[in-house]
């Protein structure tokens, strides 16, 4: 009896092993692998990614695809966990034979796939990971379309110097790769610019209570607070900042949670989000062609306006397909070389061209939430509103 059930177990196992083979690539489509966080704590961003990718996909296929074939996206959900992202590389490359990879969402998960991507020798285009260490490997297979933490920090220093020139700062950051990298970049940039960093406060995202952290910040009484936070924590941080009556002159942030579409709405921090300043990489109002059309299409599909994460996903797929078209081949090395030579003078996400380290030099904007909306306040040539500084004290807000 034991033996028989063991045989039955083996039989089931072998059937499972056969099933994926049926999925092997057929000749009529070009498969592009996408790793992102469709579930788990970062699912809101994964969803934005997916929407952006799907809009790009539909536009591409409406124009006939690439190399005479339809483009197909092969999504792998990393569940917001780095080990799952790593498994995604094997699954997409070894089993599904995708032509190249896009992803993942977070810096943590993206950092985890750099080595597997390099050993699999498959081109990877990174849409959203801002931690600069994802580019540290100098792997010839890794390209990044978004601006990174150092670019964020540099933009902040420019902005602060021109807007009140504060002297003290506290950095509050979530403890994974994204938060740490942005904290380090800002700490270095601020110190170099003569801004004293009074403290750096690490926290665990997903906790229900940050009041103790915020009280520590309040004791330091900094002029600037710089948050490096995802969405769920950003929401709670701002609600509890109000509760502990924390009143810095500047609430600033490294994008992400503080520039998510939901953040200024009732689904996020609502009116507690008001006056927060954040970096952004793109807005529907950005002065680039097709930005408005993308916004309209996104709104039609989801009933919300897109933030930069969706655009970065969109433009990553657009750029990937352009590279495949230029390569005239699905060979990994040829696609990689075509990516190296990509030179889009402009796109919905601005110019796209990779430098010697395969990094796209993307300009960083600064936004402020005014009247529940993201307004561009820096740099001056694209600004559509003036920054409100200092942020009013909580007791003066109604």
**By the criterion CB under 8 A, which residues form the site for other proteins?**
38-41, 43-44, 46-47, 175, 201-204, 206-213, 215-216, 219, 231-232, 235-236, 239, 242-245, 266-268, 270, 272
Print the SS3 string covering the chain: CHHHHHHHHHHHHHHHHHHHHHHCCCCCEEEEEEEECCCCCCHHHHHHHHHHHHHHHHHHHHCCCECCEEEEEEEEECCCCHHHHHHHHHHHHHHCCCCEEEECCCHHHHHHHHHHHHHHCCCEEECCCCCHHHHCCCCCCEEECCCCHHHHHHHHHHHHHHCCCCCEEEEEEECCHHHHHHHHHHHHHHHHCCCEEEEEEEECCCCCCCHHHHHHHHHHCCCEEEEECCHHHHHHHHHHHHHCCCCCCEEEECCHHHHCCCCCCCCCCHHHHCCCEEEECCCCCCCCCCHHHHHHHHHHHHCCCCCHHHHHHHHHHHHHHHHHHHHCCCCHHHHHHHHHCCEECCCCCCCEEECCCCEECCCCEEEEEECCEEEEEECCCCCCCCCCCCCCCHHHCC
CB of 191 to other proteins, least distance (A): 20
CB of 203 to other proteins, least distance (A): 4
Using the minimum distance from each CB to other proteins, give the nearer residue, 231 or 286: 231
**Distance (Å, rounded) from C-alpha 24 to C-alpha 161?**
56
Using the minimum distance from each CB to other proteins, give the nearer residue, 141 or 226: 226
Tell the residue number behind the tokens 């420019």, with chain if given.
158
Using the minimum distance from each CB to other proteins, give the nearer residue, 309 or 362: 309
CB of 52 to other proteins, least distance (A): 16
Using the minimum distance from each CB to other proteins, give the nearer residue, 43 or 122: 43
Q: Under the phi-then-psi rule, with left for phi > 0, alpha for psi from -120 to 50, and beta for the rest, what region is 167? A: alpha
Using the minimum distance from each CB to other proteins, give the nearer residue, 47 or 74: 47
Using the minimum distance from each CB to other proteins, give the nearer residue, 328 or 397: 397
CB of 258 to other proteins, least distance (A): 16
Using the minimum distance from each CB to other proteins, give the nearer residue, 45 or 152: 45
CB of 66 to other proteins, least distance (A): 31
Tell the residue number behind the tokens 């924590």, with chain if given.
233
Using the minimum distance from each CB to other proteins, give the nearer residue, 34 or 348: 34
Using the minimum distance from each CB to other proteins, give the nearer residue, 50 or 336: 50
Using the minimum distance from each CB to other proteins, give the nearer residue, 231 or 253: 231
**Residues with Cβ within 8 Å of residue 79, at least 6 apart in sequence:** 37, 38, 39, 40
Cβ atoms within 10 Å of 213's Cβ, excluding its own:
18
CB of 269 to other proteins, least distance (A): 9
């Amino acid at each position: 009896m034991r033996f028989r059930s063991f045989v039955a177990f083996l039989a089931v196992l072998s059937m499972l092993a056969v099933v994926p083979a049926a999925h092997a690539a057929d000749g009529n489509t070009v498969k592009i692998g996408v790793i992102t966080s469709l579930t788990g704590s970062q699912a809101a961003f994964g969803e934005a990614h997916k929407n952006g990718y799907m809009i790009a996909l539909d536009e591409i296929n409406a124009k006939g695809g690439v190399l005479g074939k339809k483009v197909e996206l092969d999504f792998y959900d990393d569940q917001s966990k780095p080990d799952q992202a790593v498994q995604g590389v094997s699954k997409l490359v070894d089993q599904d034979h995708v032509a190249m990879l896009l992803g993942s969402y977070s810096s943590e998960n993206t950092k985890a796939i750099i080595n597997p991507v390099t050993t699999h020798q498959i081109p990877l285009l990174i849409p959203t990971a801002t931690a600069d260490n994802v580019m540290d490997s100098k792997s010839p297979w890794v390209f990044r379309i978004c601006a990174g933490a150092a670019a964020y920090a540099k933009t902040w220093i420019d902005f602060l110097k021109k807007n009140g020139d504060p002297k003290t700062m506290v950095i509050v950051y979530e403890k994974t790769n994204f938060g740490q990298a942005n904290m380090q970049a800002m700490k270095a940039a601020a110190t170099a610019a003569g801004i004293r960093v009074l403290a750096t406060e690490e926290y665990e995202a997903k906790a229900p209570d940050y009041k103790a952290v915020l009280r520590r910040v309040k004791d330091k009484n900094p002029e600037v607070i710089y948050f490096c936070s995802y969405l769920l924590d950003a929401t709670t941080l701002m609600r509890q900042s109000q509760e502990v009556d924390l009143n810095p002159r500047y609430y600033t942030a490294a994008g992400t949670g503080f520039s998510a579409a939901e953040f200024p709405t009732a689904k996020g921090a609502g009116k507690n989000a008001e006056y927060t300043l954040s970096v952004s990489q793109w807005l529907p109002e950005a002065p680039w062609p097709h930005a408005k059309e993308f916004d309209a299409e996104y709104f039609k599909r989801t009933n919300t306006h897109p933030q930069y994460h969706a655009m970065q996903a969109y433009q990553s797929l657009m750029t990937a397909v352009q590279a495949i078209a230029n390569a005239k081949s699905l060979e990994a090395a040829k696609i990689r070389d075509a990516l190296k030579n990509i030179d889009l003078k402009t796109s919905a996400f601005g110019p796209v061209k990779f430098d010697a380290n395969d990094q796209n030099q993307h300009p960083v904007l600064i936004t402020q939430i005014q009247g529940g909306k993201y307004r561009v306040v820096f740099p001056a040539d694209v600004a559509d509103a003036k920054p409100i500084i200092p942020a009013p004290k909580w007791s003066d807000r109604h």
